[in-house]
């Protein structure tokens, strides 16, 4: 069954994408939950508008991220935590800790919900 996604679905596609799924998955999950709608001729043109809006939002997000990255690239952010004699931490440093340190030391506000911190 061809559907147009109304929201981003991990492993399936992004908002505005036209996807082919099984009828059971469409009927029992995607359609009742409002995550998709049937791909009629009118809906396909609406999907194009959704994709254009998504592309504009992604471009804006990318531009904002590049601005933040250029502001942070020359900065050194220090997070004070307790450590043992061997240098091992007592506890952990969370994404919220990193966001708070960046905000207080570099005056850059980060969205704590979308923050992903790689282990170093």
Segment 43-91, tens digit of pLDDT:
888 788 878 888 888 898 889 888 888 888 888 889 888 888 888 888 8
Query: What is residue 3's predicted lDDT score, i.e. its pLDDT?
Result: 92
Query: What is residue 96's predicted lDDT score, i.e. its pLDDT?
Result: 83
**79 and 54 housed in the same domain:** no
Q: What is the mean pLDDT of residues 91-104?
A: 85
Query: What is residue 64's predicted lDDT score, i.e. its pLDDT?
Result: 84
Q: Residues 6 or more apart from 89 whose CB is under 8 A from it?
A: 81, 82, 83
The CA distance from 84 to 87, in Å, is 5
Confidence (pTM) = 0.49
**79 and 62 housed in the same domain:** no
Range of the structural domain that residue 103 is part of: 75-120
CATH number at residue 97: 3.10.430.100
**26 and 51 housed in the same domain:** yes
The CA distance from 84 to 34, in Å, is 51
Order the strands of the 36-38 sheet from edge to edge: 18-20, 2-5, 36-38
**80 and 114 housed in the same domain:** yes
Counting the structural domains of the chain, the total is 2
**55 and 85 housed in the same domain:** no
Q: What is the mean pLDDT of residues 14-24?
A: 90
**53 and 3 housed in the same domain:** yes
């Amino acid at each position: 069954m061809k559907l147009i996604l109304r929201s981003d679905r991990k492993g399936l596609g992004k908002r505005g994408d036209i996807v082919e799924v099984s009828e059971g998955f469409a009927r029992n999950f995607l359609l009742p939950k409002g995550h998709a709608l049937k791909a009629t001729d009118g809906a396909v043109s609406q999907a194009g508008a959704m994709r254009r809006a998504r592309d504009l939002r992604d471009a804006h997000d990318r531009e904002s991220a590049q601005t933040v990255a250029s502001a942070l690239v020359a900065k050194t952010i220090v997070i004070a935590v307790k450590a043992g004699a061997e240098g091992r931490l007592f506890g952990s440093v969370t994404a919220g800790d990193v966001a708070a340190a960046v905000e207080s030391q570099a005056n850059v506000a980060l969205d704590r919900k979308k923050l992903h911190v790689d282990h170093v």
